[in-house]
Amino acid sequence: MPAVRMLQHVVGQLLLGPACGCRTSALPARSLGASPWQIPANANFHSASFSETDRPRVLITGGLGQLGVGLANFLRKRFGKDNVILSDIRKPPDHIFQSGPCIYSDILDYKNLREIVVNNGITWLFHYSALLSAVGEANVSLAKAVNITGLHNVLDVAVEHGLRLFVPSTIGAFGPTSPRDPTPDLCVQRPRTIYGVSKVHAELMGEYYHYRYGLDFRCLRYPGIISADSQPGGGTTDYAVQIFHDAVKNGKFECNLKPSTRLPMMYIDDCLRATLEVMEAPAESLSMRTYNINAMSFTPEELAQEVHKHIPEFQITYNVDSARQAIADGWPVSLDDSNARKDWKWKHDFDLPELVTTMLNFHGSDTRIAQAN
């Protein structure tokens, strides 16, 4: 019996925390209230959509990236300016700081993240902090810290406080052995970038936390996202953003992918709407935790031809970046998003002609204003 009591004591110490005194990612060591280990596997937080009188309190991490600011503006129109908090480790420009609540948040600092959630009554968390494909390959150590360790902190905070959590995934979560045209929701993935590996990890960890702890985890695999009012963020599909900046400014563009490289793309308005729609979808309508979403697929050559219709003097040249080309060659040509269209009625609005017209109108207006000033 003494041996049994000693074993019970050792197990108890392991559950309380690590012997070395270092901070551990084990959930019980982080919980001040009910331990997540005691949450039944079939629990379901926020199983119904929010009513107009019960609006969510939203936190966006990595808010100064390509999508965060647009998402904040989009959600503030729906839920009110003060109900959506944008966070990042960088100082926001004045116009973003004045547009609504902006705070410092380091996802690698668990205590800081937890304080923000508690002090602001957060109920929805959009986790956008990540190093993208090309940038991640240039700094794998930092990508592992931000994309994996940061995710673990977010998952633990979300399950502890019963948050509805959205984590975006990507076409980069697939690899060269995946079916490419179209790529289904469920198939072999095996990505070959740290960005893709970390996103597969996020998908699986989110699904595990859902079934193990009842976390309301929701995830969309984004195509390449094209945004008019943000700068490229270091991704392989960023040529499709930079081309519009250069076309209006210089009338020419040097592309770092081959002219025949076909990839799935989406205009940011469709992306933001899809994100909100999946977050508001009733839990019982979701047959899976991670969905593909799709809008259009095109090559650099096809995009340049469409730009040329608006700017006849536009010229494109090619200086292929072998690293980015290798990444693109392992990604889907198109995504099968039939499950999203069936489960929560997803439907895109922008195809290639509408995309190009919208982007050039936006940048053309900016150029004329700058010249007038």
CB neighbour burial string for 248-287, b if at least 16 within 10 angstroms, e if fewer: beeeebebbbeeebbbbbbbbbbbbebbbbbbebeeeebe
- Specify burial of residue 160 (Cβ count, 10 A radius: 0-12, 13-18, 19+): buried
- Provide the token pair at 140: 């794998």
Given a contact cutoff of 8 angstroms between Cβ atoms, the answer to whether 270 and 348 are in contact is yes
Q: What is the C-alpha end-to-end distance of the chain, expressed in Å?
A: 86
Question: Half-sphere exposure of residue 238, counting CA atoms within 13 Å on the CB side?
Answer: 16
Where helices occur in 220-336 by DSSP H, the ranges are: 239-249, 268-280, 300-310, 322-329
Given a contact cutoff of 8 angstroms between Cβ atoms, the answer to whether 68 and 88 are in contact is yes
- Known catalytic residues are 195
Compute the distance between CA of residue 186 and CA of residue 202 in angstroms, rounded to an integer: 15
- Provide the token pair at 278: 């999946």
Beta-strand runs (E) in the chain: 58-61, 84-88, 102-104, 124-127, 164-166, 169-170, 216-222, 224-226, 252-255, 263-267, 290-292, 296-298, 315-318
Cα–chain center distance at 101: 20
- Specify burial of residue 357 (Cβ count, 10 A radius: 0-12, 13-18, 19+): middle
What does the angle CA 285 – CA 174 – CA 74 come to, to the nearest 5 degrees?
50
Rg of the chain's alpha carbons, rounded to an integer? 22
